[in-house]
Structure 1
Amino acid sequence: IISVKLAEEYTKAMQELSKDRLIGINWNEWIEIHRKLSKWDNIFQDLNDKNIKKTHLDTRKSFNVQFCKYIENNYIKWVSNEEDERPTLSIDIMKKYVFPLLKKGKKVVFILLDCMRLDQWNALEKLIQSYYRIENHHYFSILPTATPYSRNAIFSGLFPSDMARFYPEYWGQWGEGSQNRYEKELLIELLKREGIRLARPPQFFKILNLSESARLPSITKSWYKIPFAVIVVNFIDILLHTRSELDVLKEMMYDYDGLRALTVAWFLKSFLFEAMRIMVGYDITIVITSDHG
């Protein structure tokens, strides 16, 4: 009965989304489409109905094709236009959502979960909302969306071509594991350009493995007196990249449902979630984002 009712609701919802799909929709409408599709991802998580899940996957693929065409037709315009004439991009995140808080004297912890999709965030949000009041905003990654480009764009506030021109010492050092080596330095340069002076330098903590993750709760206990801290978590990206090498992970994450379930299982037991619960008692704002899906 539940499956039949959901199928009816889903069909109606997709008809509403699809009726104007081929008629010049804007970036705000694409955000709404993605938000609604991701909502259905989470609704179908535990539903044992392969037919409706396949229908949803096919629907997503169809929208993806249209979205790619939209990006092809509009991305160059976004790169050329001012912020008020385009959607929020990777280069805008710090200036739009973090720096205004710092300028007001508020303490901020910025958490970047590498390679996190919106449907994964929807699942994590349910766990976090018991501890924090949450506001959601959406943005578009720059192109290419790969980590070296998208994440450096977030911390530098610059497109890759501008990074190469203004900071060749940080951008030109390409090698194994070096593409994101200078995120802290790029962030400090961005703070300088925006005229933001902090009482103490920003704390930058990057989690690449379990031993580094285990240090996080004890470190965050002193962050109540730090104006600005950054946590970069590579877990999801590492998990995706090792999936093809480990049979057990391949079996657990054979589809997006499995990936979401594993992400939630990790987060519940993670040192990051423990650290966030510690920071509940601090007078701080936590800003969480992803660099690419």
Structure 2
Amino acid sequence: MKQITVLWIDDEIDLLKPHLLFLEGKGYRVITAANGNDALKYVSARENIDIIFLDEQMPGKSGLEVLNELKRLVPAIPVVMITKSEEENIMNQAIGAKIADYLIKPVNPNQILLTIKKNLEHRQLISEKVTADYRTEFNRLGTTIRNASHWREWADIYRRIVYWEMQIDSGGEEMKEILSFQKAEANKEFARYIKSVYLSWFSQNNDKPVLSPSLMRQYLFPLMEKNPQRHHVFLLIDNLRYDHWCVLSEILSGFCRIEQNDLYFSILPTTTQYARNALFAGLMPLEIDKLIPNLWTDEDDSEEESKNTHEEQLLQMQMTRLGLKVPVHYEKILNEKSAKKLVDSFSNYSNIPLLVVVYNFMDALSHARTTVGMLRELAGDEAAYRSLIQSWFRHSQLLELIKTCLHHERTVMITTDHGSVRVLNPVKVIGDRETSANLRYKTGRNLNYNPREVFAIRKPADAHLPSLSLTSSYIFATCADFLVYPNNYNHYASFYRNTFQHGGISLEEMIVPVALLLPK
């Protein structure tokens, strides 16, 4: 392990001999300087310095003057200011110059040791603690996964897995690999659970989670009725996984109160065409097809964009059925330019109680990662993908839009229609020309597959899904599988492996966030 070098700058350095001996006894290398000029010579000479302790009151150049030169020469090295003074303006100047810490004399050796650990060994210490905590949790979580038999248990399991993913993101590869195996085990058991209970969720009296068609009835409309004087925003971010929401919420917590942070279940197929249309209509896809066939687009429509062109009408019809006579403005955001336009014109909607915004960037990013090699390299795994989303969100018009909504004293309900899963394992299926193209599910008349590798629904009406013909069926990939035709199998298996897809059965696709933000 590399020896840490400390530069200590103080005009009374001889009086600090006990502190210096204490640090050397702990294995640190200590360089001293009695004034700012000597210290700057050490730094200019490229001494391998890891942290600097700087006295604020010295003859000649003051501590603040030396601090400014240090930050210009070595901006990445943490500088800890030590002073007798507690004057607010000195503290403000030091903090403004981006000091790492601030200590008031007299300081004891343990304070110095703690400061070094906090600034240089902080990440390693946290990683060690997280690793130890996860080792303790591993067996408990494994037992819960194996015994889970209720949707509430699965929602809790997924929360716990995502919590550990977020904790271990900056940790060692060994722990990441172990957690990845445990998540794969969870997805295997979750798929088995969904196969056994999914169709029963459509029985009238069965205990079931909130599903796509009931989301607005369970969350949005009761909120509007409870707060009729308040204006609201319903923000649907397409393809927002729960772990991605956790990344966004860390940033948002600085601007608002997150009043509600729930999970609901997307219907199958976990795609925009099915799940989002069901969400806005308040109906399952089969009911949309039967009751308002002109607003349902079949699988054989080749234009992907045309499968969600009626969301505003579906929402208006749902609200009319429920007797909700509230003016609504619907907006679909396809890029940053249209988002900025909405932000800039937001005051135009001050008299409209409900704004419904569909934000499509996350889904576009997922698809772009599949086709753009550089993006796939930048977001090579789950942790890197979360980091990319975090970086984008900090500088996005989406964040500006949310801030604007809160500034206008609107509540903001954030949710999604489905998530996505990183696929790794190709599974061979055979279908005719009319079979759907999605990699995580297929629907068609002549599907040939291994029933042990998929979840098959031979009677689509049982799952409230429309059929292209009397003999149509649906099959769904589970876990990290994706469905590939035999023709040119190796090419497509290689091309789509390690991409994010949706439509099938996994924790990441089906269990998705719904949250309520309030102004602070």
TM-score by length of 1: 0.94
Q: In structure 1, how many angstroms separate the alpha carbons of the residues matched to 2:331 and 2:224? A: 19
Structure 1 position 67 matched with structure 2 position 67: no
Structure 1 position 179 matched with structure 2 position 307: yes
The residue identity in structure 2 corresponding to 1:195 is G
More strand by share: 2
SS of corresponding position for 1:67: helix
Structure 1 position 88 matched with structure 2 position 210: yes
Give the C-alpha shift of residue 22 in structure 1: 2.6
Root-mean-square deviation (Å): 1.6
- Cα contact 1:113–1:232 (8 A) shared by 2: yes
Whichever of the two has the greater Rg, that structure is 2
Structure 1 position 164 matched with structure 2 position 289: yes
Query: 1:57 pairs with 165, 180, 184, which one?
Result: 180
The residue identity in structure 2 corresponding to 1:77 is S
Q: In structure 2, how many angstroms separate the alpha carbons of the residues matched to 1:263 and 1:237? A: 12
SS of corresponding position for 1:196: coil
- Cα contact 1:216–1:272 (8 A) shared by 2: no
Alignment match, 1:125: 249
The gaps in structure 1 that reach 5 residues or longer are: none
The residue identity in structure 1 corresponding to 2:219 is Y
Q: In structure 1, how many angstroms separate the alpha carbons of the residues matched to 2:333 and 2:393? A: 14
Alignment match, 1:155: 280
- Cα contact 1:221–1:279 (8 A) shared by 2: no
Q: In structure 2, how many angstroms separate the alpha carbons of the residues matched to 1:36 and 1:223? A: 40
- Cα contact 1:164–1:171 (8 A) shared by 2: yes
The residue identity in structure 1 corresponding to 2:166 is N
The residue identity in structure 2 corresponding to 1:265 is S
The residue identity in structure 1 corresponding to 2:375 is L
The residue identity in structure 1 corresponding to 2:320 is K
The gaps in structure 2 that reach 5 residues or longer are: 1-124, 420-520
Alignment match, 1:263: 389
Relative to 1, partners in 2 of residues 1:77 and 1:52: Cα closer, same or farther, differing over 3 Å?
same
Alignment match, 1:195: 323
Kindly provide the CA deviation profile for residues 260-285 of structure 1, in whole angstroms up to 9, marking residues without a partner as x. Answer: 11111111111121121122232321
The residue identity in structure 1 corresponding to 2:369 is R
- The alignment covers a number of residue pairs equal to 289
Bigger relative contact order, structure 1 or 2, given CA contacts below 8 A and separation 6+? 1
- Cα contact 2:144–2:157 (8 A) shared by 1: no
SS of corresponding position for 2:306: coil
Q: In structure 2, how many angstroms separate the alpha carbons of the residues matched to 1:40 and 1:97? A: 28
Kindly provide the CA deviation profile for residues 206-247 of structure 1, in whole angstroms up to 9, marking residues without a partner as x. Answer: 111232222121132333321111111111111111112212
SS of corresponding position for 1:205: strand
- Cα contact 1:111–1:232 (8 A) shared by 2: yes
- Cα contact 1:217–1:272 (8 A) shared by 2: no
Residue correspondence of structure 1 range 91-106 to structure 2 within 5 A: 91-104=213-226, 105=228, 106=230
Give the C-alpha shift of residue 24 in structure 1: 4.8
- Cα contact 2:281–2:315 (8 A) shared by 1: yes
The residue identity in structure 2 corresponding to 1:102 is M
- Cα contact 2:239–2:417 (8 A) shared by 1: yes
Q: In structure 2, how many angstroms separate the alpha carbons of the residues matched to 1:216 and 1:255? A: 33
Structure 1 position 33 matched with structure 2 position 157: yes
Give the C-alpha shift of residue 17 in structure 1: 1.6
Structure 1 position 18 matched with structure 2 position 18: no
SS of corresponding position for 2:146: coil
Relative to 1, partners in 2 of residues 1:24 and 1:7: Cα closer, same or farther, differing over 3 Å?
closer
The residue identity in structure 2 corresponding to 1:14 is F
Alignment match, 2:443: none
More helix by share: 1
The residue identity in structure 2 corresponding to 1:72 is K
* Dislocated runs of 4+, deviation >4 Å: none
SS of corresponding position for 1:22: helix
Kindly provide the CA deviation profile for residues 193-212 of structure 1, in whole angstroms up to 9, marking residues without a partner as x. Answer: 110001x3x11111112322
Give the C-alpha shift of residue 3 in structure 1: 3.0
Q: In structure 1, how many angstroms separate the alpha carbons of the residues matched to 2:360 and 2:155? A: 25
Q: In structure 1, how many angstroms separate the alpha carbons of the residues matched to 2:127 and 2:413? A: 36
Q: In structure 2, how many angstroms separate the alpha carbons of the residues matched to 1:100 and 1:142? A: 22
Q: In structure 1, how many angstroms separate the alpha carbons of the residues matched to 2:407 and 2:148? A: 47
Percent of aligned positions that are identical: 33
Q: In structure 2, how many angstroms separate the alpha carbons of the residues matched to 1:175 and 1:197? A: 36
SS of corresponding position for 1:138: strand
